[in-house]
Amino acid sequence: MFLRNAWYVAAWSDEIGAELQQVKVLGEKICMFRTQGGEVIALEDACPHRKLPLSKGRIKGDTVECGYHGLTFDCAGQCVWAPGGGRIPSAAQVRPYPVHEKYGLIWIWMGNAAIADIEEIIDIPNFDSPDWGINRGAAMELQCNYLLMCDNLLDPTHVAWVHQSSFAAPATKDTPLRVSKTDEGIIVHRWMMDHEPAPFYKKVIEFDGNCDRLQHYEVRYPAHALIRAVFTPAGTGGPDGPLDDRTFVMDSYNFMTPTTESETRYYWFQLRNLRPDDAELSEMMSEDVRVAFEEDRAVLDEVQIGMDEKVSPHIDLSIDAGPLRFRRQLQAMIAEEAMLDKKMQS
């Protein structure tokens, strides 16, 4: 089950061009392309005649021609030509999906198009700031349910075992977690005081010695995460800390798009508050993060198999408080959405 009245990432902007391409979101196949003017179009990927995917057809100007019998559809999904010379059937149409480009990503609305509001797309401060650098990587294909990755991104503790060569530090094993609920999602966070920086960050920060470190793990509905890492010299951090001028901040944005119940496409990029024009640093961080995320993927793919094949119940720990709260609230939102849809149809 998915929350449908929400924006999901369908693709990186540079993944969609002037050729027909099939993408899958929430189990639905969608035909995407750009018009001659560069606008992104998303249509149901099934000709209503015999259900050949439109992505197997051809672009004709700003229309799509089915590769089986030539039915041709405009950008609104309406058939504008059909063979036989007679009247075009009123049912000769495909569903158009609202889309919007922002942050180098193509966002798609999978629910009621009448209530799609681009103002509801996640706000990302500093994205266009010249004072912040950015690094990103290709989308990752995960063989697991999207909620397993949401769990992972509300779990600062797992880094102590999964990311020992990158994000881990001794304090990540047992420093207590704080969980809070917002209107947009769940936050799990903690300050870890006066310890050696983790290997990944030690290569980046611009001060010597121990640090105070904030792990801020936040997942917003339906499946968007902000992971904020703050590293400041020891003695300057904490909830009321003054923070040093050399404090390093990295905001990692992560977008989980369910493609099926057991597959997820994962988009990510990081913003950092230092050396914004350092291409070598961006490349190094992108590669190191990609390696770390591959560690996540290896674990979560196996967790999915373990959950599918389990012969005894799984258990929860105190560190699972954040993920469990997120799942409960999201499920309540999905149930409410389904109830409202049922009322509208009756």
Residue-wise pLDDT tens digits, 165-199: 777 566 677 788 999 999 999 999 999 999 988 88
DSSP count for the chain of H helices, then E strands: 5, 18
User: What is the C-alpha separation between 233 and 102, in angstroms, rounded?
Assistant: 35
Distance between first and last Cα of the chain: 21
Burial class (CB in 10 A: 0-12, 13-18, 19+), 211: buried
Q: How many of the other CB atoms lie within 10 Å of CB of 90?
A: 8
Q: Are 229 and 252 in contact (CB under 8 A)?
A: yes
Summarised one tens digit per residue, pLDDT across range 294-343 is 999 999 999 999 999 999 999 999 999 999 999 999 999 999 999 988 88
CA angle 129, 104, 289 (to 5 degrees): 80
CA angle 186, 190, 192 (to 5 degrees): 160
Q: What is the mean pLDDT of residues 215-230?
A: 97
Token pair of 47 as six digits: 């000709």
- Conformational region of residue 38, where left means phi above 0, alpha means psi within -120 to 50, and beta covers everything else: left
User: What is the C-alpha separation between 7 and 267, in angstroms, rounded?
Assistant: 14
Q: How confident is the model at residue 53 (pLDDT cuts 50, 70, 90)?
A: very high
Q: What is the mean pLDDT of residues 126-140?
A: 96
